[in-house]
A and B are shown apart, each in its own frame.
Chain A
């Protein structure tokens, strides 16, 4: 699964993209964020306020309770500020 990070999530994590093998018990976006937090201090820092982080599954906005099974690309980002 490909993970993408944007804006301050990217800066805190330290990179923009990576390929990961996610454990089978990680079923939802919330599960994925909880699992990412265990991968190191930079992830714990980036996802400390996970309720403030938005997600997209295969380039479509996704809620934190959305299932991630079959997803090719999941992105994490702060609330959007365009316009």
Chain B
């Protein structure tokens, strides 16, 4: 399941919803990404996206993870709009019988989301506002999964 929303998310509630009425899940892995301000130079971050394509890409990435690993559940929640340092940006939850599939799939989902999902971050600080540049390290992280 995927969701794009302006509201915050509650990790505990998301896990509880995913496990509701089922006892077959053995492992749940979550990843949460937050707005980071290490040097006091970010006052807010605005996330723009491509409505329509964003949902299609996230669904495609989820389908690819489910093809690669035996997942019992999979959730991607990504926020858009204006956020503050410390705010949640993205949540990935994976569930499987055993931990390896859930760990690997969570990492794969984040690596692919970073390089494929049409979101763009703009950071604002005391010195103005600028678009965040893509990192080659993110391309390298996604490339590790190619051919696997």
Residues of A near any B CB (own CB < 8 A): 4, 6-8, 56, 59-61, 75, 77-83
Contact = CB atoms under 8 A, between A and B. Distances in A.
B110 A81 contact: no
B115 A80 contact: yes
A11 to B, nearest CB: 8
A83 B134 contact: no
B33 A6 contact: no
Interface stretch (B12-20, B47-55, B65-73, B95-103): B47-55
Interface residues of B, number: 28
Given A7-B48, A83-B113, A83-B117, 10 more contacts: A59-B50, A59-B52, A59-B53, A75-B118, A80-B114, A81-B114, A81-B120, A81-B132, A82-B47, A82-B117
B10 interface: no
Given A59-B52, A75-B53, A83 B120 contact: no
Contacts of B138: 83
A82 B121 contact: yes
B117 A7 contact: no
Contacts of A59: 50, 52-53, 56
Given A6-B48, A8-B131, A80 B119 contact: yes
A4 B132 CA distance: 20
Contacts of B122: 7
Given A6-B48, A56-B50, A77-B50, A82 B134 contact: no
A80 B134 contact: yes
